[in-house]
Structure 1
Amino acid sequence: MRRAVKLARLLTRRPWRLGLRRGVAAAVEHANALRTLDAVTVIDVGANRGQFVLAARALLPGAHVHAVEPLAAPAEVLHRVAAALGGITVHRAAVAPERGRATMQVPARTDSASLLPVGARQTRVFPGTHAVRTETVRTAPLADLVPSAVLTPPVLLKLDVQGSELDTLRASTHLLPQIDWVLCECSDVELYAGQALRPAVEAYLADHGFQPVRSDNAVTHPAFGRVQADVLFARYAVSASSPAAESAASAS
């Protein structure tokens, strides 16, 4: 999205203006997908500084957002955003199948940080995303951070975890029966060493009753074709009548 156009959009809603005052630009590129949903609970895994949180609070004003972010510096900003907006609970951890500690590879732009080693294609497609330091973070299954008792349906789970999508879903298995939609950044080429690609993510979610209903924000590269996109998955029972299913053709 062109910078001037995005800035103009960011000035149209109070939560987004509050975000700008704290140095955080709302992820307005997700607006079209969010407008199709009526989520009452949002779980944002890989919340970084609150970019998606701001988008969700503006477009789903009645929803409570659980924002999960492992890194210290972005989590500090995220706490300030949460204090300004309300309706947000911050959880400081990385979602993973095992409880413990892990080392994250952190680039200058922390929204590209990953539990996996950065691959050559990542830095080729997204220059400047090579790791410049590491940080040890807490890891835990999602249910340890966001217990099922606090989930008021319908529930949206958003994942932006830089190659760890499948592991994050596996670490969220106990909550998946309560999830109505999953919005996941899926890769078509390997950007991080050992990451699962889109077909594996789709297959796992299909086994748990989800199907893709729309795809947005595709990134392409002359050498690789489509590199990644944000894919919205819906439960079969929900998708048949949901606005998301009616507005999207095929995301696969």
Structure 2
Amino acid sequence: MSLKGKVLNSALMAAYKRGFEIRRHPAARRHKLITARGVDLVLDVGGADGGFGRALRQFGYAGRIVSFEPLAHSYAELSEAIAGDPRWTARNHALGDVAGEAQINVASNSTSSSLLPMQDSHREAEPNVDIVRTETIRVERLDDVAPEFLGTDDTVYLKVDTQGFERQVLAGGPDVLARSVGLQLELSFVSLYEGGMLANEAISLAYDAGFHLEVIEQGWASATGQMLQADGIFFRS
């Protein structure tokens, strides 16, 4: 074994002994999967600060991205992230089953913010995170706004990460869902938000819509090691 190989092997073993492993970045796999399906439009529902889209760009996705982010400060960060990228646009509203104004619960870490009330199970799993305020936002139905960016020939990958609000997002976009070749949903194994969709319902909904599960990506685990959430990637059969 070369010196470089020995150093790498030593580093890997040191990581393993501390409970860590080096594995392929999930966005690399995601890019490979959507490329194989000819995806040229990614709908990023729950865009946050643009991390999902940036990872796709990093691993070679050059198609269009439309991100939806309702929180003012997160939308500002998202807008900054996509500046200079003409094939990535952002919209400052949430998606749901009914259009109108709503109050979103803003969490101290931003990414745990939700239109649904946070439950004690979330607080117990991550005691340093809680709701700190509410913010008035706009909610639109996906099918209502889709004509503004969805062309007849687009091949769509729909990603929904909305902290328990996935059911309502999909209920407001049945036509876009039917047009999508790929679907990514946050799968919750524990009820973390009041009325939020759990993994069994999410998977059944996806299968009923003609998708099958191809990948489960590791998500959020509690300090005890219990897996609370993961991302499910579905494609049409």
Q: TM-score, normalised by structure 2?
A: 0.82
Find the counterpart in structure 1 of residue 161 from structure 2. Answer: 160
CA RMSD between the two structures: 1.9
* Structure-1 separation of matches of 2:152 and 2:230: 27
User: Quick one: distance in 1 between partners of 2:57 and 2:146?
Assistant: 18
Measured against aligned partners, the alpha-carbon deviations of 1:176-233 in whole angstroms (never above 9, x if no partner) come to 1110111111101100111110111111111111111110114344768331101101
> In the alignment, is residue 67 of structure 1 matched against residue 71 of structure 2?
no
Deviation at 1:150, TM superposition (A): 2.9
Query: Residue in 2 aligned with 1:232?
Result: 233
Which amino acid letter does the alignment assign opposite residue 124 of structure 2? R
1:107 and 2:107 aligned: yes
Correspondence 1:1-252 to 2 at 5 A: 29-38=26-35, 39-147=39-147, 149-150=150-151, 152-221=153-222, 225-236=226-237
Distance 1:198 1:53 in 2: 24
**1:13-66 Cα shifts (integer Å, max 9, x gaps):** xxxxxxxxxxxxxxx543322332212110000001111011122334321000
The verdict on how the C-alpha distance between 1:115 and 1:224 changes in structure 2, with shifts beyond 3 A counting, is farther
- Mapped contact 2:93–2:137 kept (Cα < 8 A): yes
- For 1:35, what is the secondary structure of its paired residue? helix
Counterpart-to-counterpart distance in 2, 1:149 and 1:219: 32
Name the CA shift for 1:43/1:152 in 2 (closer, same or farther; >3 Å): farther
Unaligned residue ranges in structure 1 (runs of 5+): 1-27, 237-252
Any idea what the Cα deviations from partners look like across 1:93-129, whole Å, max 9, x if unmatched? 1100111011100012211110000111112223332
Distance (Å, rounded) in 1 between the aligned partners of 2:219 and 2:181: 23
Unaligned stretches of 5+ residues in structure 2: 1-24
In the alignment of these two chains, the number of paired residues is 209
Percent identity over paired residues: 28
Distance in 2 (CA, whole Å) between partners of 1:203 and 1:56 is 27
* TM-score (normalizing by structure 1): 0.77
What code does the residue aligned with 2:209 have?
H
